[in-house]
């Protein structure tokens, strides 16, 4: 190659090698350290100058004047102001939002809507938050979700109370707040009355399976753990594993494990875990449920190779019939649509409990909001963003969403008159069975790193791969939780 080849040309004979003299290419380690130290020093005197312009604060965008509040325009949207809407382009796609944008444009023909969809929420929006020029409505979701606690703590979000108290799109006599499913408003609160987030989708978590496969085993969905083991044994004889899960993202396991803990030990166990209370994980219910799951692994009821599968791979194996059960959320129906046989007959059930001494009845299920929508505090046209949300929470938009992406919305109802897919139908039925017994563990919203990386991957993931016992795992997780409770760089929350 170039740099050396030139040395073999004519000049070589003269014995004048390129660079033996100064030895300048050999960067002395000490030289470099000295130099980088010098670099570090340079930044000191410039700091005051830096802080003046570093993060571009202070030049917030001008707010659009609010329009007149009328019955048709209860939020006082300025009908000529631009409204900017950034959507997370994930499993639900962007069509539903585009449809809702059309409604907005129809209502305010003079207003321009700037709509964009991205998977990179934080890298796209972080600089704009810093600069004080965020868009008016954001679906803050996906792998690059901006940390909600930080956004709230740094007063970057607008209180959505005006939206919740506005009349709903369909009925001027009902407030938006009263058209929502239970728990949605509470989920948007952090430490007070204000509501910062509106979760638009409504997700049912649980154990997903093919009704057809279960029928072929001549079995019902098991309600106690003994029955669960019996079903798995039967499946194993037929060459089918009992369970699989997203082994590379083991934080899918809590979708059935946490509500099981809630069912066995009662809600307060889950609340204590969320509140990072000392020894919350040492509760006997946690131990019993961990041991139950560990037994699945020990008895060989978990599909071989599962710890090396990602979510798509495990869902595909499960859809092929290699495994009977998978812990997942209601998005699985949409995500696996391409690989699921037509006669799969997808169903979801609340998690199996231990036995009849459980604190809560069978049917106790985890359901909560997904797709968190926020309106930034510094948005130029906050009323516009809220109005867009109000439109999305109308019955028509909600039905459109449910029809298109096979998921429920925060709007309570919105399933009449549209044909529900098997999974969705089963989800609605599961919510009916659950009634009051819906639990909503918050670790995954409040402490992302703790839930996913520490409890999920490092704790439960290792246990389900058979590399740690339940006792070891609980000890490890409790240590992680204690660490987070003590960590002053993390904002802490409590159940109200």
Partner 1 sequence: MAARAQIGVAVMQHGKYRFIVGFLAVPLGLYALFVVWPFVQSIYYSFTDWTGLSPDFEMVGFANYARMLDDDIFWKSLQHSLLFALLVPVVTIGLALFLSFMINVGGRRRRGGPVISGVRGSAFYKIVYFFPQVLSIAIIALLFAFAYNPDSGAINSFLRAVGLDGIQPLWLGDPDLALWAVMAVIVWSTVGFFVVLFSAGMASIPLDLYEAALLDGANRITTFFRITLPLLWDTVQSGWVYMGILALGAESFAVVHIMTTGPGGPDYSTTVMVLYVYQKAFRDGQAAYATTIGVALLLVTLAFAAAVMKLGRRERLEY
Partner 2 sequence: MKTTEPPAPVPAESGITVTKADVPAGAPPEEKKAGGVLNVFSHGILVIWAIMVALPLLWAVMTSFKDDASIFGSPWSLPDTLHFENWARAWTQAHMGDYFLNTVLVVGGSLIGTLVLGSMAAYVLARFEFPGNRFIYYLFIGGMSFPIMLALVPLFYVVNNMGLLNTIHGLILVYIAYSLPFTVFFLTAFFRTLPSSVAEAAFVDGASHSRTFFQIMLPMAKPGLVSVGIFNFLGQWNQYMLPTVLNTDEDKHVLTQGLVQLAVSQGYKGDWSGLFAGLVMAMLPVLAAYIVFQRQVVQGLTAGALK
Site for partner 2 in 30-69 (CB under 8 A): 31-32, 35-36, 39, 53-56
**Residue choice 61, 170, 249, 433 for contact with partner 1 (CB under 8 A):** 249
* Cα distance between residue 293 and residue 225, in whole Å: 10
| Residue span binding partner 2 (CB under 8 A) among the ranges 13-21, 178-186, 292-300, 378-386 | 13-21
- Token pair 């209370």 is found at 277
Q: Does 120 bind partner 2 (CB under 8 A)?
A: yes
Cβ 337 to partner 2 shortest distance, Å: 7
Q: Does 80 bind partner 1 (CB under 8 A)?
A: no
**Residue choice 107, 396, 457, 485 for contact with partner 1 (CB under 8 A):** 457
**Residue choice 51, 80, 116, 216 for contact with partner 2 (CB under 8 A):** 116
Q: Does 130 bind partner 2 (CB under 8 A)?
A: yes
Question: How many residues of this chain interact with partner 2, rule: CB under 8 A?
Answer: 56
Q: Does 482 bind partner 1 (CB under 8 A)?
A: no
Containing 88, the helix (H) or strand (E) segment is strand 83-88
Kindly tell me which of 168 and 210 has the beta carbon lying closer to partner 2.
210
Q: Which tokens in the block code for residue 227? A: 């029955």
Q: Does 156 bind partner 1 (CB under 8 A)?
A: yes
| Residue span binding partner 2 (CB under 8 A) among the ranges 3-11, 68-76, 293-301, 346-354 | 3-11
Q: Which tokens in the block code for residue 492? A: 């802490």
Cβ 169 to partner 1 shortest distance, Å: 31
Longest CA span, the chain: 97
**Residue choice 339, 396, 433, 465 for contact with partner 1 (CB under 8 A):** 465
CB 167 within 8 A of CB 174: yes
Cβ 129 to partner 2 shortest distance, Å: 10
**Residue choice 33, 230, 233, 471 for contact with partner 1 (CB under 8 A):** 33
Burial class (CB in 10 A: 0-12, 13-18, 19+), 396: middle
Rounded to 5 degrees, what are φ and ψ at 77?
A: -75, 135
Task: Please report, as residue ranges, which positions from 135 to 194 form the binding site for partner 2 (by CB under 8 A).
Answer: 143
Nearest to 169 by CA among 239, 84, 73: 73
Pick from partner 1, partner 2, none: which does 90 bind, CB < 5 to 8 A by kind? partner 2
Q: Does 131 bind partner 2 (CB under 8 A)?
A: yes
3-class secondary structure for 197-254? CEEEEEEEEEEEEEHHHHHHCCCCCCCCHHHHHHHHHHHHHCCCEEECCCCCCHHHCH
Cβ 471 to partner 1 shortest distance, Å: 17
Q: Does 31 bind partner 1 (CB under 8 A)?
A: yes
The alpha carbon of 352 is separated from its chain's Cα centroid by a whole number of angstroms, namely: 24
Rounded to 5 degrees, what are φ and ψ at 350?
A: -60, 150
Q: Does 237 bind partner 1 (CB under 8 A)?
A: no
Q: Does 284 bind partner 1 (CB under 8 A)?
A: no
| Residue span binding partner 2 (CB under 8 A) among the ranges 160-168, 176-184, 211-219, 313-321 | 313-321
Q: Does 91 bind partner 2 (CB under 8 A)?
A: yes
* Cα distance between residue 291 and residue 285, in whole Å: 10
CB 205 within 8 A of CB 349: no
**Residue choice 66, 211, 275, 316 for contact with partner 2 (CB under 8 A):** 316
Handedness of CA 265, 267, 269, 270 (dihedral sign): positive
**Residue choice 136, 335, 358, 387 for contact with partner 2 (CB under 8 A):** 335
Nearest to 182 by CA among 416, 423, 368: 368
User: Which DSSP symbol is given to 458?
Assistant: I
Q: Does 41 bind partner 1 (CB under 8 A)?
A: no
Q: Does 495 bind partner 2 (CB under 8 A)?
A: no
Nearest to 310 by CA among 153, 82, 143, 123: 143
CB 63 within 8 A of CB 383: no
CB 133 within 8 A of CB 60: yes
Question: How many residues of this chain interact with partner 1, rule: CB under 8 A?
Answer: 83
Q: Does 124 bind partner 2 (CB under 8 A)?
A: yes
What residues line the site for partner 2 (CB under 8 A)? 1-11, 16, 18-19, 24-25, 27, 31-32, 35-36, 39, 53-56, 89-93, 116, 118-120, 123-124, 126-127, 130-131, 143, 311-313, 315-317, 320, 331, 334-339
């Amino acid at each position: 190659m170039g740099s050396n080849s030139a040395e073999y040309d004519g000049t070589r004979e003269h014995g004048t090698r390129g660079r033996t003299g100064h030895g300048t290419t050999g960067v002395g380690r000490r030289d470099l350290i000295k130099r980088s130290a010098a670099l570090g020093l340079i930044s000191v005197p410039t700091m005051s100058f830096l802080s003046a312009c570093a993060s571009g604060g202070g030049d917030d965008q001008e707010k659009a004047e609010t329009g007149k509040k009328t019955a048709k325009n209860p939020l006082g949207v300025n009908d000529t102001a631009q409204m900017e809407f950034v959507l997370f382009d994930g499993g639900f796609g962007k069509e539903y939002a585009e449809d809702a944008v059309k409604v907005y444009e129809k209502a305010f023909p003079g207003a321009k809507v700037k709509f964009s969809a991205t998977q990179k929420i934080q890298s796209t929006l972080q600089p704009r938050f810093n600069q004080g020029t965020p868009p008016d409505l954001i679906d803050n979701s996906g792998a690059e979700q901006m940390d909600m606690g930080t956004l709230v703590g740094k007063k970057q979000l607008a209180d959505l109370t005006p939206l919740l108290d506005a009349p709903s799109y369909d009925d001027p006599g009902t407030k938006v707040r009263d058209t929502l499913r239970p728990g949605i408003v509470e989920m948007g609160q952090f430490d007070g009355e204000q509501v910062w987030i509106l979760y638009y989708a409504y997700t049912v978590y649980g154990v997903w399976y093919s009704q057809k496969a279960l029928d072929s085993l001549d079995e019902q969905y098991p309600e106690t753990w003994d029955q669960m083991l019996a079903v798995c044994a039967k499946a194993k004889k037929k060459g089918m594993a009992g369970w699989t899960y997203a082994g590379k993202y083991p934080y899918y396991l809590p979708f059935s494990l946490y509500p099981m803990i809630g069912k066995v030990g009662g809600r307060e166990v889950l609340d204590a875990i969320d509140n990072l209370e000392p020894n919350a994980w040492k509760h006997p219910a946690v131990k019993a449920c961990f041991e139950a799951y560990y037994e699945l692994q020990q008895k060989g009821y978990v599909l071989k190779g599962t710890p090396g599968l990602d979510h798509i791979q495990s869902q595909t194996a499960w859809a092929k019939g290699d495994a009977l059960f998978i812990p997942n959320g209601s998005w699985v129906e949409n995500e696996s649509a391409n690989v699921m046989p037509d006669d799969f007959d997808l169903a979801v059930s609340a998690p199996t409990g231990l036995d009849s001494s459980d604190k809560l009845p069978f049917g106790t299920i985890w359901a909560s909001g997904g797709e968190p929508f926020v309106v930034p505090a510094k948005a130029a046209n906050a009323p516009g963003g809220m109005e867009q949300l109000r439109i999305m929470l109308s019955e028509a938009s909600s039905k459109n969403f449910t029809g298109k992406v096979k998921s429920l919305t925060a709007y309570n109802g919105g399933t009449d008159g549209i044909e529900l897919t098997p999974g969705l139908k089963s989800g609605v039925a599961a919510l009916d069975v659950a009634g009051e017994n819906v639990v909503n563990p918050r670790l995954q919203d409040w402490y992302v790193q703790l839930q996913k990386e520490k409890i999920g991957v490092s704790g439960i993931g290792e246990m389900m791969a058979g590399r740690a016992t339940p006792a070891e795992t609980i000890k490890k997780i409790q240590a992680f939780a204690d660490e987070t409770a003590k960590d002053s760089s993390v904002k802490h929350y409590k159940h109200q």
